[in-house]
Amino acid sequence: MTAIRTLVSVPELEALRTRGDVLVVDARFDLSDPGKGERDHAAGHIPGAPYAHLDRDLSDAGKQGFGRHPLPTDATFSAALARWGWRPGLDVVVYDDANGALAAARLWWLLRLAGHDRVAVLDGGFAAWRAAGMPLETGAMERDATTVQVVLDRGDVVWYDELERRLADRDVLLLDARGEPRYRGDVEPIDPVAGHVPGAVNRPFSDNLAADGRFKAADDLRREFGRLLAGLDAREVVHMCGSGVTACHNLLAMEHAGLGGSRVFAPSWSGWISDPGRPVATGP
């Protein structure tokens, strides 16, 4: 099997597990109930899969002004990887129960920032695994820890200064992965201000998915993103969402479609509005 990069199917994951040289990670999370993913993991998970908690392992809640899910420190992310038994060169497959959006694509992106690109998201997630009648394991998952020290490439992340400059220069396509009502500012169930960054274009992450919860075919995604790009290079695309989590879903979809090089504005909407001097737009 060739090196994994974006998505794997249930049969492909089972083949990797049979080979025995893969780390499967459970990244299920519920924004309204932060403990639910961990409880669900204990109730049943893919055999051998440790649990990755969005708030504790994939974020640093101690940072102010960088949104609801700031990037984790290098030490925090390294400790999580060590606890999961990760080592360089090991294939990693991440899954959740939100079609990759919470928080499998986030972990996929962080591993890439750490210089590890042998990582993919399970297409269809936990639901696809269960629907295929595959085995489950219950209880806490303990793996043999490794010694890990990684550094996240923060230079490959878009921050405020770059985004504001590029928006002013009109040389960026900023794609907002939130649903249309939140983008328009009709509703805002999470953040204190409704609306979107002026100039951002709405591309709900759900548009990446077929009716069965799996990602659309790569050719279909390439056509859809191509219409948004309108001749721009994929490297001119920056992704955002509410807090830098579902934005990774659009990044993953573009990479799966062969449109490589786009990046994530990590603070996203919740970070943007942390400064009341930044402009806010509403409407379509």
235 with 166, same domain: the answer is yes
Q: 7-8 and 263-264 as β-strands: parallel, antiparallel, unpaired?
A: unpaired
Q: Within 13 Å and on the Cβ side, how many CA atoms surround 89?
A: 0
Task: Say if residues 26 and 52 touch (Cβ distance below 8 Å).
Answer: yes
Is residue 250 included in any domain, yes or no?
yes
145 with 201, same domain: the answer is no
List residues with catalytic annotation: 241
22 with 144, same domain: the answer is yes
Could you tell me the residue range of the domain that residue 263 belongs to?
A: 157-272
pLDDT at 141: 81
165 with 95, same domain: the answer is no
Is residue 283 included in any domain, yes or no?
no
- Residue-by-residue pLDDT tens, the chain, 284 positions: 456 899 999 999 999 999 998 999 999 999 999 999 999 999 999 999 999 999 999 999 899 999 999 999 999 999 999 999 999 999 999 999 999 999 999 999 999 999 999 999 999 999 999 999 999 999 988 889 999 999 999 999 999 999 999 999 999 999 999 999 999 999 999 999 999 999 999 999 999 999 999 999 999 999 999 999 999 999 999 999 999 999 999 999 999 999 999 999 999 999 999 999 999 999 99
User: Of 114, 131, 151, which marks where a domain is finished?
Assistant: 151
Residue 44's nearest CA partner among 138, 127, 128 is: 138
pLDDT at 17: 96
CB burial of residue 117 (10 Å; 0-12, 13-18, 19+): middle
128 with 171, same domain: the answer is no
Is residue 76 included in any domain, yes or no?
yes
User: Of 122, 151, 180, which marks where a domain is finished?
Assistant: 151
122 with 170, same domain: the answer is no
Is residue 99 included in any domain, yes or no?
yes
pLDDT at 143: 87
The count of domains in the chain is 2
pTM, rounded to two decimals: 0.97
Is residue 112 included in any domain, yes or no?
yes
* CATH code of the domain covering residue 172: 3.40.250.10
Q: Which two tokens stand for residue 113?
A: 């920032």
176 with 115, same domain: the answer is no
122 with 217, same domain: the answer is no
239 with 133, same domain: the answer is no
Is residue 216 included in any domain, yes or no?
yes
50 with 104, same domain: the answer is yes
Residue 114's nearest CA partner among 88, 137, 133 is: 88
Is residue 2 included in any domain, yes or no?
no
CA angle 39, 45, 49 (to 5 degrees): 105
Q: Which residue(s) pair with 173 in the sheet?
A: 237
217 with 257, same domain: the answer is yes
Is residue 13 included in any domain, yes or no?
yes
142 with 175, same domain: the answer is no
User: Of 100, 128, 151, which marks where a domain is finished?
Assistant: 151
